[in-house]
Amino acid sequence: MKIGCFMYASGTFHERLFYCSYRSFKKWHPDIPVIGIKTDLINPDIEMVELPEERSMGMGIKKYALASRAMKEYNLDKIIILGSDTITCGVLDEFIDDNSVDILTTLDYPYAITTDAFNGTGTEHLNADVVCFNSPEAIDLIVERSPSHGHWVEQGGLNEVCYTSKYTNKTVDSPYHQSTVVYNVRSKGNVVASPMTQWEYTNKFIVRDSKLLVPTPTLSAKIKQIKVWHYCEGFGCLDYPTQKERMDYWFTKGFNEDTKKFFKEECDCGDFFDGNFTL
């Protein structure tokens, strides 16, 4: 089976985050190539060049369009898509081992997504930055449908396609309270996007047997291994002073020393978490 991982970073801030996202994924998956766009700071294993029609797309839709094209051009059976603001913290077996489902998804914050094109009431909100596809056609449909979802773009497209189309999907870290793994923002807790609430949970992460864990007493749920950490701070909509302020807070208050040591030693993040955040 041929597998690839597509990652995309644009701008100095996201390229700095990419240092950890790329190195951590390769640490846990040395044989899976990372595919992406080369920049001054980024050298993916397989370099793609944007087509003219892709350059005019919004960032999120473009990422999906490029991932679909990568599957077809490199004859991939499976492609994992990860945002630049992620850190891979273990082997992503839930993605890698399931070849029967078209779309393997992960949970977003615990609220429903509703757009003009999709009423997600009663569904689990799926996050578009940590996802895996066994079908390029499913990605193509998301690209086609995403512009109809306003500011939700590809996240709206992903949720619509998963819940209303012929393509099959499975959420690998659901149901939340029964799952023993977390692949996305629920590692912050079963909470909405409120930073002061999130940090109450994240600075209690524990490291055991080369695994980063969310402890049971913190969340009143099963103990969970964090497979992918995702900041999910909406960094792309913020100016740099605000981006830096949030990252500095994660460095100083959001993660305890054991977690930062885990990122450094087990996820190959080097000196990324030493001191404050710098470009």
- The secondary structure of the chain, three-state, reads CCEEEEEECCCHHHHHHHHHHHHHHHHHCCCCCEEEECCCCCCCCEEECCCHHHHCCCHHHHHHHHHHHHHHHCCCCEEEEEECCEEECCCCHHHHCCCCCCEEECECCCCCCEECCEECCCCCCECCCEEEECCHHHHHHHHHHHHHHHHHHHHHHHHHHHHHCCCCEEECCCCCCCCCEECCHHHHCCCCCCHHHHHHHHCCCEEECCEEEECHHHHCCCCEEECEEECCCCHHHCCHHHHHHHHHHHHHHHCCHHHHHHHHHCCCCCCCCCCCCCC
Q: Extract the residue ranges of the chain whose pLDDT is less than 50.
A: none
Structure tokens at 35: 């595919």
Instruction: State how beta strands 224-226 and 211-214 pair.
Output: antiparallel
Q: Which residues contact 49 (CB under 8 A, 6 or more apart)?
A: 37
Q: 195-202 and 240-249 are packed helices; what angle lies between their axes, rounded to 10 degrees?
A: 30
pLDDT at 188: 87
Helices and strands (H and E) in the chain: how many: 10, 15
CA pair distance 67, 48, nearest whole angstrom = 10
pLDDT at position 81 is 98
Tell me the C-alpha distance between 118 and 116, whole Å: 6
Cα 136 from Cα 171, distance rounded (Å): 18
pTM: 0.95
Which pLDDT value is given to residue 194?
64
DSSP 55: H
CA distance 22 to 66: 17
CB 173 within 8 A of CB 181: yes
Look at the block and give the residue holding tokens 């993040």: 269
